[in-house]
């Protein structure tokens, strides 16, 4: 009420009051955070006068759950991978979203449910990028034939050397089955069975002794650059940054890429809910999502935004037709139902 009275007296005082507000925005850091800052976070601050504090985290829902459970929520907006966001939403850790009220229509007035790609808007979150986990390798690590398929990642005889994999079952189990010959449309039904899970772990056993496990997105490019691995799973945007800005001799193998979406969401109990929702609306608007693709090779989640992406950037995006031919979408709902069980099983397997 006090702030409203101040703003009613003088617009200058209103700007001053808004400038005292602060949103804590949590994301994965690195090149993604840099792109989000340039396209969304800094412009939002300039538009509204709201200060922003950026925090990095490595994913999952444990930190968020601890804040909500203890009623000590210090985050206002979180960038989260879709499977984790589904789990968080099911657990009541996010504020609900009303798409018609909380999101902008697309360019030309396209309705939200038409303009966003399928699955991009959920009850608690809205996707802001389409990203991919793909195999990347250092071309200097191979003097003759170079790897070209997902199966090559698992072939230690033909392509010897250390591999990098994310320390999580999500994506890792799918890749194991794909490399073992399971068709894309049967991966999740195979993982529904005990035999399918055993098959995935058996395939991982074949390279386990040569795997270096990573947890943060900055690690795979560094592992490749340092020669600690010859091939690694990696977020395609991190590899693009290393290729274009650091001139690293890396290549992406798009075969079997696992694509997914990151979402913006507002933690339940945010002390700045109204402003956080305002940021979410701004950050997922057509021009902002298109602008974001200038700075990182992740695709926008709106059709109206995709039309604005430059021709130069399109070949680097996971959704480019040539790159997308053998892609598999991470099944967020499936992982929402099975993550706890398979996380426990995966961690036990790591210790064997």
Say yes or no: 265 and 252 in one domain. no
Q: Which of 18-32, 42-56, 108-122, 216-230 has the lowest mean pLDDT?
A: 18-32
| Whether residue 330 sits in one domain with residue 300 | no
In the structure, what pLDDT confidence band is assigned to residue 14 with cuts at 50, 70 and 90?
very low
Total domains, the chain: 2
CATH number of residue 266's parent domain: 3.40.190.10
Q: Tell whether 208 and 294 lie within a shared domain.
A: no
First vs last C-alpha separation in the chain: 59
Per-residue pLDDT tens digits for 135-146:
999 999 999 999
How far is Cα 212 from Cα 196, in angstroms, rounded to an integer? Answer: 24
Please tell me whether residues 146 and 281 are part of one structural domain. no
191 to 43, 90, 171, 335, 350: CA distances (angstroms): 43, 22, 12, 11, 18
Task: Based on the fold, state whether residues 200 and 335 are members of the same structural domain.
Answer: yes
Same domain, 211 and 339: yes
Do 163 and 117 share a structural domain? no
56-72 per-position pLDDT tens digit: 998 899 999 999 999 99
Judgement on whether residues 124 and 158 belong to the same structural domain of the protein = no
In this structure, are 333 and 310 located in the same domain? no
The answer to whether residues 196 and 302 belong to one domain is no
pLDDT at 17 over 50: no
- 9 versus 170: the higher-pLDDT residue is 170
Tell whether the model's pLDDT for residue 45 goes beyond 50.
Answer: yes
pLDDT digits 0-9 by tens, 320-341: 878 989 999 989 889 888 999 9
Confidence bin at 31 (pLDDT 50/70/90) = confident
User: What is the span of the domain harbouring residue 234?
Assistant: 132-259+322-350
Instruction: Clarify whether residues 68 and 166 are in a common domain.
Output: no
Decide if 167 contacts 343 (C-beta within 8 A): no
pTM, 2 dp:
0.72
Same domain, yes or no, for 274 and 253?
no
Checking if the pLDDT of 19 tops 70, the result is no
- Exposure string (b/e) for 195-217, b if CB count within 10 Å is 16 or more? ebbebbbebbeebeeebeebebb
């Amino acid at each position: 009420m006090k702030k409203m009275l101040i703003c009613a007296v003088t617009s200058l005082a209103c700007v001053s009051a808004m400038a005292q507000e602060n949103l804590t925005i949590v994301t994965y850091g690195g090149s993604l955070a840099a792109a989000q800052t340039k396209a969304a976070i800094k412009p939002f601050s300039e538009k509204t006068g709201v200060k922003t504090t950026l925090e990095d985290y490595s994913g999952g829902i444990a930190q968020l759950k601890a804040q909500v459970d203890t009623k000590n929520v210090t985050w206002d907006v979180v960038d989260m991978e879709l499977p984790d966001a589904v789990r968080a939403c099911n657990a009541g850790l996010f504020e609900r979203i009303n798409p018609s009220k909380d999101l902008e229509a697309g360019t030309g007035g396209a309705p939200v449910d038409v303009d966003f790609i399928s699955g991009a808007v959920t009850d608690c979150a809205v996707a802001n990028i389409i990203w991919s986990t793909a195999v990347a390798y250092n071309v200097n690590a191979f003097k003759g034939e170079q790897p070209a398929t997902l199966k090559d990642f698992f072939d230690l005889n033909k392509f010897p050397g250390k591999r990098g994999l994310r320390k999580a079952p999500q994506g890792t189990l799918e890749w194991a089955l794909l490399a073992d010959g399971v068709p894309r449309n049967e991966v999740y039904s195979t993982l529904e069975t005990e035999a399918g899970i055993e098959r995935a772990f058996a395939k991982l056993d074949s390279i386990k002794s040569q795997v270096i496990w990573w947890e943060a997105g900055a690690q795979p490019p560094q592992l490749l650059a340092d020669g600690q691995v010859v091939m690694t799973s990696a977020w395609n945007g991190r590899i693009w940054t290393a290729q274009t800005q650091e001139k690293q001799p890396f290549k992406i193998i798009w075969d079997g890429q696992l694509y997914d979406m990151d979402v913006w969401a507002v933690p339940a109990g945010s002390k700045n809910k109204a402003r956080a929702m305002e940021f979410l609306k701004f950050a997922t608007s057509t021009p902002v999502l298109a602008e974001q693709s200038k700075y990182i090779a992740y695709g926008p989640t709106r059709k109206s935004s995709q039309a604005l992406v430059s021709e130069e950037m399109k070949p680097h995006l996971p959704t480019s037709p040539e790159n997308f031919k053998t892609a598999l979408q991470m099944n967020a709902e499936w992982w929402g139902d099975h993550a706890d069980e398979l996380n426990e099983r995966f961690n036990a397997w790591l210790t064997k």
